Each structure stands twice: as C-alpha cells, then as structure tokens.
Amino acid sequence: MFPLRDNIPSSRYPIVTTVLIGANLIVFVWELMLGWNLDEVLARYSIIPLRYTCLEVAQLHTPGQLLVPFFSAMFLHGDWLHLIGNMWILWIFGDNVEDRLGYFRYLLLYLLGGVFCEPNSHSYKS
C-alpha cells in the first residue's frame, strides 16, 4: 500500500521537513552532476561495512573519516525513484511528527534515526 496523503492537518508549517527535503534534493542533484567522480564520492561518504569490521582497513582512516558517513549516507539516494519515494513519505508523515515533537526533537529524531538505521539500508557496495 502506497500512501497518497494523510488526513491529519498540521498546526504549523513543517519547516524542518521542508529543509530536509531541500537538503536531500540538493545532495541528489550534486550526485547527478558528479559524473565519473560519483564512485569516489560514494566511497568516501557511504557506509562501507569493511571500513568498520576489518581492523587493517579501519586503521587507514581517521576518526572523522569513520564518523562522517554515518551522517552523510542518510542524504544519498541511488536514483530518482529512491529519492521520490523517500521524500514523498517524509512529506506525508514528517509534518505530523514535526508538529508533535517540535522542530528540535524532530530534527534530532531524523538524524539519530539516520545514524542508527543507515548502516543496514544504504551501504555502498564496491
């Protein structure tokens, strides 16, 4: 079942949801513009399990290089369908969650959800 809309009106404009959708769109357009450099960028900003499970590989990276992909991977999308599907669901349900939690707690939930769920769903396969 694919949701078309919800019937719960928001009491205020979903600022964080709109900014998150905009950020995801900007990153996706940037991905499209990379051309042949895309693989290099994905290797740097995606979750690659080997980087975290093999000590020899992990030692080749700084702590920052190991941490950044946990945040950056949540903004990467594989194709237009992936992006549209995610942004559609974010638009339909995000405004209600943002309305209920408030701006800060909603953004925190989004970021923490991305950090703890991304490694299992969008890892880069080399």
The residue among 86, 87, 106, 83 whose CA lies nearest residue 15 is 106
pLDDT digits (tens, 9 = 90+) for 44-97: 999 899 999 999 999 999 999 999 999 999 999 989 999 999 999 999 999 999
| Every domain of the chain and the residues it spans | 15-121
In the CATH hierarchy, which top-level class contains the domain 15-121?
A: mainly alpha
Specify the pLDDT at position 126.
45
Closest CA to 95 of 15, 26, 35: 15
Checking 112-115 for CB contacts under 8 A at 24+ apart, the result is 114/70, 114/71, 114/73, 114/74, 115/70, 115/71, 115/74
Percent of the chain with pLDDT over 90: 68
- Residue that has been written with the tokens 């900003």 in this structure: 45
Length of the chain, in residues: 126
pTM: 0.82
Confidence of residue 119 (pLDDT cuts 50, 70, 90): low
